[in-house]
Amino acid sequence: MANPARRAGLYLLGTAAVMLVYALLYQLGMARLEGIDVRFIESLHVVAETFTTVGYGEQADQWESTAMLALMIAMQFTGVALIFLTLPAFVLPLFAEALASGPPRSYDGTGHVVICSFSPTVDTLVTELRARGQPYVVVEPDADTVESLQTDGVEVVQGDPEDGEVLSAVSADDAEAVVAGDDDETNASVILAAQHVAPETRVLSLVEDESHADYHRYAGADEVIQPRSVLGDSLAGKASSSVSTELDGAVEIAADLEISELLIQPGSPLDGTTIGDCGIHELRGTHIVGAWFRGEFVSPPSPTRVIDEYTVLLVVGPEDGVEEMKRRSLSRDAPHRATSPSRGTASSARRSRRRSPRRGCR
The rounded distance, in Å, linking the Cα atoms of 140 and 123 is: 12
Domain for residue 360, yes or no? Answer: no
User: Under a CB-based contact definition with an 8 Å cutoff, are residues 184 and 207 in contact?
Assistant: yes
Any domain includes 179? yes
Burial class (CB in 10 A: 0-12, 13-18, 19+), 209: middle
Query: Residues near 231 by Cβ (< 8 Å), separated by ≥ 6?
Result: 292, 295, 312
pLDDT: which is higher, 223 or 242: 223
pLDDT in tens, 188-223: 899 999 999 999 999 988 787 777 888 888 888 998
* Contact criterion met (CB below 8 Å) for 234 and 240: no
**Is the CB of residue 116 less than 8 Å from the CB of residue 181?**
yes
Question: What average pLDDT does range 252-263 have in this prediction?
Answer: 72
Among the listed residues 175, 144, 174, 142, the one whose alpha carbon sits nearest the alpha carbon of residue 161: 142
Q: According to the model, what pLDDT value does residue 240 have?
A: 39
Is residue 357, in this structure, part of any structural domain at all? Answer: no
pLDDT of residue 6: 75
Structural element, H or E, at residue 76 = helix 66-86
What does the pLDDT average to over 319-339?
73
Tell me the average pLDDT across 229-237.
48
Q: Higher-confidence residue: 36 or 340?
A: 36
Weakest-pLDDT range from 40-49, 109-118, 144-153, 244-253: 244-253
Share of the chain above pLDDT 90, in %: 26
Indicate the average pLDDT of the chain: 78
Instruction: Let me know if residue 359 belongs to a domain.
Output: no
Q: The domain that contains 237 carries what CATH number?
A: 3.30.70.1450
Give the pLDDT of residue 207.
80
Judgement on whether residues 214 and 306 belong to the same structural domain of the protein = no
pLDDT at 248 over 50: no
Query: Highest mean pLDDT: which of 19-28, 49-58, 278-287?
Result: 19-28
Residue 89 or 195, more confident: 195
Contact between 200 and 172 (Cβ < 8 Å): no
Structural domain ending residue among the three candidates 184, 199, 225 = 225
Model confidence at 354, pLDDT cuts 50, 70, 90, reads very low
Condensed to tens digits (0 to 9), the pLDDT of residues 276-306 reads 999 888 888 888 888 888 767 887 888 999 9
Q: 154 and 267: one domain?
A: no
Residue 104 maps to a domain: no
CB proximity list for 233: less than 8 A, separation 6 or greater: 247, 346, 347, 350
Return d(Cα 338, Cα 340) in angstroms, integer. 7
pLDDT given for residue 99 in this prediction: 64
Does the residue 75 lie in any domain? yes
| Together in a domain, 219 and 132 | yes
End-to-end CA distance of the chain: 60
Residue with the larger pLDDT of the pair 21 and 359: 21
More confident residue, 267 or 294: 267
Q: Does one domain contain both 216 and 231?
A: no
pLDDT band at 362 (very low <50, low <70, confident <90, very high): very low
> Is 131 in the same domain as 141?
yes
The CATH number of whichever domain residue 41 belongs to comes to: 1.10.287.70
Residue 286 and residue 299 share a domain: yes
The pLDDT of residue 356:
35
**Percent of the chain scored above 70 by pLDDT?**
77
Do 189 and 234 reside in the same domain of the chain? Answer: no
- Check residue 90 and report its DSSP letter: I
Residues 237 and 308 in one domain: yes
Angle between helices 40-51 and 2-32 (to 10 degrees): 120
210, 191, 213: which is closest to 202 by C-alpha?
Answer: 191
Q: What is the pLDDT of residue 121?
A: 66
Are 219 and 239 found together in one domain?
Answer: no
Same domain for 200 and 139: yes
**Number of folded domains that form the chain:** 3
**Residue 178 binned pLDDT confidence (cut-offs 50, 70, 90):** very high
Average pLDDT score over residue span 270-275: 92
Last residue of a domain, one of 98, 126, 156: 98
At 122, is the secondary structure helix, strand, or coil? Answer: helix
Strand ranges in 90-227 using DSSP code E only, listed in sequence order:
113-116, 136-140, 156-158, 177-180, 202-206, 223-225
For 220, phi then psi, to 5°, come to 125, 10
Give the domain extent around 342: 227-351
pLDDT at 39: 92
Is the predicted pLDDT of residue 140 greater than 60, yes or no?
Answer: yes
Give the model's pLDDT for residue 28.
Answer: 93
In this prediction, residue 205 carries a pLDDT of 87
- Say if residue 120 is in the same domain as residue 79: no
Q: Which of 116-125, 166-175, 223-232, 240-249 has the lowest mean pLDDT?
A: 240-249
pLDDT at 52: 82
Which CATH number does the domain housing residue 204 bear? 3.40.50.720
Residues 19 and 77: their CA atoms lie apart, in Å, by 13
- What's the average model confidence in pLDDT over 35-56? 86
* Contact present, 51 and 78 (Cβ < 8 Å): yes
Kindly give, in sequence order, each residue whose CB lies less than 8 Å from that of residue 152, ignoring residues fewer than 6 positions away. Answer: none
Q: CA distances (Å), 30 to each of 34, 46, 57, 72, 77, in order?
A: 5, 12, 16, 11, 20
Residues near 4 by beta carbon (within 8 Å), at least 6 away in sequence = 90, 93, 94
Compute CA 272 distance to the chain's CA centroid, rounded to the nearest angstrom.
35
Residues 194 and 240 in one domain: no
Task: State the Cα–Cα distance between residues 235 and 246, nearest whole angstrom.
Answer: 12
Q: Which of 225, 258, 285 marks a domain boundary? A: 225
Q: Is residue 277 part of a domain?
A: yes
- Report if residue 103 sits inside a domain: no
HEC string for 284-339: CCCEEEEEEECCEEECCCCCCCECCCCEEEEEEECHHHHHHHHHHHCCCCCCCCCC
